[in-house]
Amino acid sequence: MLKRLSLLSSIFAVSKKEFIQLRRDWRFMFSLLFIPAILLILYGYALNFDVKNVSFGVIDFDRSEISRDFVNSLRVSEYFKLKDYFYDYKEGFSFLQRGEISFLLVIPEGFKRSMERMENISIQCFIDGSNSNKGTIVLGYLNAYVNYFNHKFLKKEFFGVSLRIYYNQKLKTTNFLIPGLIGFILMITTVLSTSLSVVREKERKTLEQLYVTPLSSLEFSIGKILPYIVISLLATLIIILFSKFLFGIDIRGSYSLLFLSTCLYISCTLLMGFLISTIAETQRTAFLLAILTSLLPSILLSGFIFPIENMPKIIQFITYFVPARYYIKSIRYIVLKGASLCSFSYEILSLLIFSFLLLILILRRMRLGLK
Amino acid sequence: MRKILFIIVKELIQLRRDRMMFPLLFIAPILQLIILGYVANIDVKNVKIGIFDFDSSFMSRELVRDFTSSEYFVEKSYSRDFKEIDKLIEKGEVSMALIIPKGFERRLSSGNPVNVQIIIDGTDATVATIAMNYSSQILTKFYIRSFSKSFPSKFNGIRLESRVLYNPELKGSHFMVPAVITLLLTLIIGVLSSMAIVRERENGTLEQLIVTPIKPQHFILGKIAPFVLIGYLDITLIIIVAIYWFKVPVKGSIPLLYLFSGFYILYTVGIGIFLSTISKTQQQAMITAMFFIFLPSILLSGFIFPVENMPRIIKFFTNFVPLKFFLEIVRGIFLKGSGFKELYDEAFFIFLWGIAVLSFSLLRFRKKL
């Protein structure tokens, strides 16, 4: 009993010291609190995959009423924007090459005649595929549009689809990306904030001084991380408020679940930064390690942007080691779907295990350092 | 010239001493490239679909088969319990549900209108949009087929004959792999070169160097040269991996790519020196680099997120991210086979940025000395 009390009080003492130091460096503290919010505002507006206003060109060899009709109804949809009519292929292709249009429609001569005689006819379409994602979506829209035009022209209404979309009715990609962005921002700010902490002391050779204190490495590490957890939680609160009021993202699920998963995630990432700090010998290796283990994986391997199910098996396996993966899934489920704990209990458990493993690794590194 | 060489040698020795630096400079880029190349696909395939067939007739089964036999959809559940739909979608076990009503076959064969219901999980809007388009294509084809059985007619309406240019298979890796070059140049040269100068200041060795007969410009050149060298080595490495591993076609000229990379390197070196003049500690240099250069370079350059979708104000800011122009150059040369004529504007812009930033920061650096 007595021992446990002393453990708590010494953790508390380390935290207090760290807090005082942080308060002195108010610029650092300020940036820890507000940089996440600034990043969210800037990138929340910037990031989306919505395919809208895709500009296109037309070569119309038919120049009939019906061909103009076809182009016009394409043009009034919010997806496409007519750049210009061209008169020959060469001109059209040069626009395509310079990226000024994303696709080029070629309506053949005799379009009107075939339509009237009910003969099959094809329209040529050249799509700029260099951006593969955009290309895929544009191609899908075009096909769907042509289907729609056929239906309208044939006036056959036998078959309809009634479509219902759950959770994100307007299909705005922002709603999907912002929860991911929150996970990403928290990752980089927390990992960066702790990754340089120990290594700096190492470079200045003040780490030895800490080793001679009666603190155990467990007390030292937990005590050092605790203040960062508090500050990062505050920062999370700020970002979530911003995403609610600026981006209109409502939290459908429970706040306590959100709090729980955020706490677990933050401790996980802070511990990661701490581990990096005990491994690296200089600040610049620490920085590069932090980028390689936090920044890039949490963009690429977390499901933030690229769906994990589409990745090759080996890379899917690697994603299990990216804590952002678990958090981003849970925050999306909580915020967008209002899901209950059983839908992402596995993710929460993984974050917990992850934190424990990291703590054990850190303690081992610190003990090694002592010798 | 010899003085510059001295500094270069000193710098390389220092780099070698840091055990982790070497793998970070050469293995990390390759690793990044390979991961990005495989990951960067928003191809929508194997969308998990739940089937609710209340008709279970010959025709409804045929429609189900049309869905499940396409490469876009995988059947994950089959049931007749309406209540299950919500649960399945909430848990993420299916992302789309196809509901075929009772009397589907009867109505269709007697020429009456019939509705099929589709429910989509909209959380990931991109996947939802694409899945929606695929299903409407499948439905239309089914409709035309079953319709022509009962009312034979040759007319199918307009057919879209689409050809995808520059990246015919719409491969994500072809789009992303060339872009990694640009990201690495920014990271390695910008960040490392700035830290190299700040470190000397932190350790107090900058003053020692000033009293030697080495002039500031020699010092800067010698400091930066190893990183330019490393940058070019990394470019070469990546081009090799891109061509031989990912089979990304290089349609344009590689010498042109090297030339324009040189312009971009001018800019990153300038930024490196600029950072070193405004930061006192390595930590400051790193954090400034991270938030003012690295993140905008990834997120605002069109590296992943298309610039044309951004709001006007942010679009304006992207002009201050020269990586945007460099990306257009690199992707243009790799995929479109663009030459000097098409890329002239972008190259000129980067060149201007490079000269401006470099001369400004050199002036600042001299004043500081």
Q: Which residue in chain B has the smallest CA separation from A168?
A: B122
Cβ under 8 Å to A: B residues 29-58 = 32, 35-36, 38-46
pLDDT recorded at residue B361: 83
Where residue A371 falls among pLDDT bands split at 50, 70, 90? very low
More confident call, A214 vs A329: A329
pTM, whole model, 2 decimals?
A: 0.76
Is B50 in a helix, a strand, or coil? strand
Q: Using the beta-carbon criterion (under 8 Å), do B158 and A49 form an inter-chain contact? A: no
**Residue A292 DSSP code:** I
pLDDT-based confidence at B199, cuts 50/70/90? Answer: confident
Alpha-carbon torsion (B362, B364, B367, B368), positive or negative: negative
Taking only the tens place, the pLDDT of each residue in A62-115 is 888 888 888 888 877 778 888 889 888 888 888 888 778 888 988 888 888 887
Chains A & B: contacts with CB separation below 8 Å: 317
Residues in CB range of B12: below 8 A, 6 or more apart: B226
Optimal mutation site among A71, A199, A283, interface B, most CBs of chain B within 10 A: A283
Burial of A304 (0-12, 13-18, 19+ CB in 10 A): buried
Instruction: Check pLDDT > 50 for residue A271.
Output: yes
Cα separation of A71 and A51, whole Å? 18
Half-sphere exposure (Cβ direction) of B317: Cα atoms closer than 13 Å: 15
| Nearest to B28, CA basis, from A36, A288, A150, A357 | A288
Residue A260, CA distances (Å) to A233, A271, A345 in order:
11, 17, 12
Which residues fall within 8 angstroms of residue B273, CB to CB, at 6 or more apart?
B193, B194, B197, B220, B224, B358, B361, B362, B364, B365
Q: Is the pLDDT of residue A353 over 90?
A: yes
The full DSSP string for A263-286 is HHHHHHHHHHHHHHHHH-SSHHHH
List beta partners, residue A82. A56
Using a CB-CB cut-off of 8 Å, the residues of chain B touching A48 are: 305, 309-310
CB–CB of A172/A48 below 8 Å?
yes
Asked if A157 reaches chain B (Cβ–Cβ under 8 Å), the answer is yes
Interface confidence (ipTM) of the complex: 0.72
Residue of A nearest to B292 (CA): A39
Q: Which residues of B touch A50 (CB under 8 A)?
A: 125, 309
Which member of B119, B170, B295 has the closest CB to residue A166? B119
Comparing CB atoms, the residue among A43, A50, A315 nearest residue B39 is A315
**Mean pLDDT, residues B125-154:** 73
Q: What is the pLDDT of residue A58?
A: 92
Structure tokens at A230: 């508090």
CB proximity under 8 Å: A 239-258 to B: none
Q: Please check whether residue B147 touches A, CB under 8 A.
A: yes
pLDDT digits (tens, 9 = 90+) for A157-181: 445 566 677 777 777 777 888 888 8
Nearest Cβ partner of B195 from A139, A284, A343?
A: A284
Q: What is the DSSP string of B120-180?
A: EE-SSHHHHHHHHHHHHHHHHHHHHHHHHHHS--S---EEEEEEEESSTT--HHHHHHHHH
Per-residue confidence band for A204, with pLDDT thresholds at 50, 70 and 90: confident
As a whole number of angstroms, the distance between CA A122 and CA A114 comes to 10
pLDDT of residue B151: 53
How many angstroms separate the CA of residue A8 from the nearest CA in chain B?
A: 31
Q: Specify the DSSP class assigned to residue B82.
A: T
Residue-wise DSSP of B215-255: -HHHHHHHHHHHHHHHHHHHHHHHHHHHHHTS-----S-HH
Average pLDDT, chain A: 81
Question: In chain A, what residues touch B169 (CB-CB under 8 Å)?
Answer: 129
Instruction: Spell out which residues of chain A touch residue B28, defining contact as CB-CB under 8 Å.
Output: 288, 292
Burial B259-279 (b: 16+ CB within 10 A, else e): ebbebbbbbbbbbbbbbbbeb
Evaluate the CA torsion angle A115, A116, A120, A121 in order and state its sign: negative
State pLDDT tens for residues A303-343.
888 878 778 888 888 888 889 999 998 988 888 888 788 77
In chain A, what percentage of residues exceed pLDDT 90? 6
Of A119, A144, A296, the CB nearest to B133: A144
Q: Write out A75-124 in H/E/C secondary structure.
A: HHCCCEEEEEEECCHHHHHHHHHCCCCCEEEEECCCHHHHHHCCCCEEEE
For chain B, say whether A337 makes contact (Cβ under 8 Å). Answer: yes
The closest CB to that of B120, out of A139, A166, A315, belongs to: A166
Q: Is B71 on the interface with A (CB under 8 A)?
A: no
Asked if B24 reaches chain A (Cβ–Cβ under 8 Å), the answer is yes
B91 contacts chain A (CB < 8 A): yes
Q: Cα(A287)–Cα(B190) distance, rounded to whole angstroms?
A: 13
Is the CB of residue B311 less than 8 Å away from at least one CB of chain A? yes
Q: What is the DSSP string of A19-30?
A: HHHHHHSHHHHH
- Domain spans, chain A: 7-47+172-370, 54-154
Over residues B93-107, the pLDDT tens digits come to 888 888 888 888 888
Q: How far is A42 from chain B (nearest CA, A)?
A: 8
Contact A150 B175 (CB under 8 A): no
φ, ψ of residue A328 in degrees (nearest 5): -60, -40
The predicted-structure confidence for B225-283, as pLDDT tens digits, reads as follows 887 888 888 888 888 888 888 888 888 889 999 999 988 988 888 888 888 888 777 77
pLDDT (0 to 100) of residue A1:
46
> Any residues with CB less than 8 A from the CB of B197 and at least 6 apart, and which?
B206, B220, B223, B272, B273, B276
Q: Do A287 and B286 touch (CB under 8 A)?
A: yes
- The pLDDT assigned to B47 comes to 83
CATH architecture of A54-154: 3-Layer(aba) Sandwich (3.40)
Q: Give the nearest partner residue to B123 out of A130, A149, A167, using CB atoms.
A: A167
pLDDT in tens, B39-97: 766 666 778 888 888 888 888 888 888 888 887 888 887 777 777 887 887 777 888 88
Q: Do B129 and A168 touch (CB under 8 A)?
A: no
- Whether residue A40 lies within 8 A of chain B, CB to CB, comes out as no
Question: Residue B28: which residues within 8 A CB-CB, separation 6 or more?
Answer: A288, A292
Average pLDDT over residues B208-222: 75
